[in-house]
Structure formats: C-alpha cells, structure tokens
C-alpha cells in the first residue's frame, strides 16, 4: 500500500519469491528499506520490519540496510511537504544523513522514527542468533551516540 502510494513499482510477493530462489544458490543479496515515508504509520513501518525478518528467515545470505526518509531540498517531497502532511523539523542540512530523523507527520514523530530505526539494527541478531548480537549492539550504540 505504501509502495503504491509513493510510486514504487515493487511487488513484495515477487521479491519474496526471488529471495527464496536465490537462497538455493547461496547468492548474497543486498536489500534497502526506508522508514518514514509520508503516508507511513507505526503499523506500516512495523510491517516493513516484519518483512525484513521474513526475508532473513528465507535467506541467511541477505544483507540489508534501513534508512530514514529525508526530504532533501529540491526533491518532490521537499517541494510538496506541506500538501502531503510532512513537517520538516530540522533545517540544518548537516543532519540530512538518512539516519537522523528530520521529519514528522500526524502519524509519527522523530522519536518513533529513531526507535524503529534502532530496532531495525537488531533484526539480524533477533532472527539469526547470538553470533550477530555483538554487531547489532554496536550499530545500536553508534546510533544512540549520534548527535540526535
């Protein structure tokens, strides 16, 4: 639903099939996800995290990255922020690094984005076991230490 709203022509069922198929050949795959699209809610962002969990269970050779939606100046989102209900809360462009929340809507705020982003760093450890916990804890530590 969110993917359709923002104009991404991605079918999750097709992606799931490809990830499963790639596991048979032990292919390494890099997936990228973004939290905080203007129509997102906590529920839809949690569905994104659940989808990542599902993909990790299907194929242990997945690397993934999660970023936070950042409406850079000159982009469609930046130019249409008010009409799509996106409030840009930080105009210090040095914070526009895809991991620092600089937006809010009626459905989420910076705190929620920060929390969900931190949770995303723990998914591999949650799904794949203890050997990954140290790496995930380091990611969490780095994000907490960032200048938020």
Using 50, 70 and 90 to split pLDDT, how confident is the model at 131? very low
pLDDT tens column, 93-110: 999 999 999 999 999 999
Percent of the chain scoring above 90 in pLDDT? 64
- The predicted model gives 116-127 an average pLDDT of 89
**What single-letter DSSP state applies at residue 137?**
H
DSSP 5-66: HTT----HHHHHHHHHHHHHTT--EEEEEEE--TT--HHHHHHHHHHHHHHHHH-TTEEEEE
- The predicted model gives 12-22 an average pLDDT of 91
In Å, how far from its chain's centre is CA 58?
A: 19
Is the pTM higher than 0.85? The answer reads no
Which two structure tokens, joined as six digits, stand for 120? 């995303």
**103 by DSSP, 3-state: which?**
strand
Nearest-angstrom CA–CA distance, 13 and 78: 31
Q: Which residues pair with 88 in a beta bridge?
A: 103
| Nearest CA-CA partner of 118 in 74, 148, 73 | 148
């Amino acid at each position: 639903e969110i993917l359709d709203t923002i104009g991404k022509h991605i079918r999750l069922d097709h992606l799931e099939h490809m990830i499963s198929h790639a596991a048979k050949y032990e292919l390494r795959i890099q997936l990228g996800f973004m939290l905080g699209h203007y129509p997102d809610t906590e529920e839809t962002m949690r569905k994104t995290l659940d989808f990542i969990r599902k993909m990790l269970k299907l194929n242990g050779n997945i690397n993934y990255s999660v970023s936070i939606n950042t409406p850079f100046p000159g982009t469609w989102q930046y130019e249409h922020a008010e009409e799509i209900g996106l409030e840009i809360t930080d105009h210090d462009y040095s914070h526009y690094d895809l991991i620092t929340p600089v937006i809010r809507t009626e459905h989420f705020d910076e705190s929620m984005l920060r929390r969900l982003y931190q949770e995303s760093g723990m998914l591999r450890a949650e799904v794949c076991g203890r050997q990954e916990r140290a790496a995930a804890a380091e990611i969490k530590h780095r994000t907490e230490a960032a200048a938020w």
